[in-house]
A = this chain, B = another copy of it.
């Protein structure tokens, strides 16, 4: 029923995640006739690598420092645009950041649980949520283009760590 694994499990071989994401992306782009160039592939890898939302300028820094590439903002944004078009990554509006898509093969709406402590993003794809939204939209004659559901709060891990688990306060540091 729940078909949405957490984007980040506490302990797992993350290198495997990245490799898998890259392999799926390669296969997918091939099928679609989309060109996953070296740069685009590298940006996808960087988005996945951190296992959390990543900013465009963070990626830019990595490209410059690790790859020795002369890169400017447009370089990164163009690659990100391509990856979003291909649904290989998602943009988190409330963070101005990007995360890898956990299931690029099956198109789905963007629904995220975002932990304000560890910044982990858990992607959902819940029919209940999207149905409820579609119902409201229909009632108003609204034609849905793109859903964005971003829920901020504390993930299970971080909530457990906090005595009392208060919501609405910033972490002590």
Contact = CB atoms under 8 A, between A and B. Distances in A.
Interface stretch (A14-22, A45-53, A126-134): A126-134
A contacts with B: majority SS: mixed
A135 B142 contact: no
Contacts of A135: 128
Question: A2, A131, A142 — which one has the most chain B CB atoms within 10 A of its CB?
Answer: A142
A128 B132 contact: yes
B154 A145 contact: yes
Number of chain A interface residues as a range:
35 or more
11 contacts: A113-B136, A124-B136, A126-B136, A129-B136, A140-B155, A140-B156, A142-B155, A145-B154, A147-B149, A148-B150, A148-B152
Interface of A: 2, 6, 93-94, 111, 113, 115-116, 122, 124, 126, 128-129, 131-133, 135-137, 139-156, 159-160, 165, 167-168
